[in-house]
Amino acid sequence: MKNPIYVILTLSILLFGCDYELSKIDDELDFKYGYINDSRSKNIYFSEQGIFHGRVIEVYWNDEYIIALVELTDSNSIDYYFINKSKYSEDPNQIESRGIGGPYKKNQLETEFGKFQYWNHLN
């Protein structure tokens, strides 16, 4: 007979382990949006690694770009960033990647990308 503490510990890990919700936002590359362990800290993930050091509030995407409204942890600023999906996949270095641009205000990105509010969207 196994030690009852071992059984209880194993069952609790299986039942209450990692809480996550990730939504795929790209059919070819491994970009996802959601959270791991903390539903208040959503992020964009590439190959299971969070891209931003903060909380992603909204995300828009099309075949080429992802646009995210992000509250960065270190500055408490809320700004938009864009991710060029193909460039980021070649240089997946979180926010330091050459595939990321920002911070921007909404009107600056609309000048560059048009009305991205009509793209695919999650919040």
Q: What are phi and psi of 8, to 5 degrees?
A: -65, -45
| Digit-coded pLDDT (tens) for 61-109 | 999 999 999 998 888 789 999 999 999 999 999 989 999 999 999 999 9
Provide the whole-model pTM.
0.80
Specify the amino acid at residue 51.
I
DSSP state for residue 86 in the 8-state scheme: H
